[in-house]
Amino acid sequence: MDISKKDSIMVPGELARGCMDRMKMSEPQFARLLNLSEEDLQSFFNGKLPVTKELAFALKEATGLTASFWIGFERTYRHRLAKLAEEQNAAKA
């Protein structure tokens, strides 16, 4: 994958990490707030764990951003990743 393009796609977890930092919360505190293990929180931050409906509602409570915002952000993120992969596969062909 083209690193520069992939790096330009913001992961929902990156925004959540920024919210966590602004709230001056530790990762263990934020994980508990979201009802995630610390391992799952890291996976979320890295884009490996998707925003589910349950996580979207937990994020709403934690950040004040609506659950539909988080679901939409996740959908857009996955769409952009898929489009990037498609473009790269086409370039290889």
Task: Write down the pLDDT at residue 3.
Answer: 44
User: Domain ranges in the chain?
Assistant: 9-92
DSSP-derived letter for residue 11 is P
Other CB atoms closer than 10 Å to residue 84's CB: what's the count? 16
Instruction: Look at residue 48 in the predicted model and tell me its pLDDT.
Output: 96
pLDDT of residue 65: 97
Long-range contacts of 51-58 (CB under 8 A, 24+ apart): 51/12, 58/33, 58/34
Q: State the 10-residue block means of pLDDT for the chain, 93 residues long.
A: 62 97 97 98 97 98 97 97 90 80
Q: How confident is the model at residue 79, as a pLDDT?
A: 96
Q: Nearest CA to 47 among 19, 10, 22?
A: 10
Residue 88 pLDDT: 87
Yes or no: domain 9-92 corresponds to CATH 3.60.21.10? no
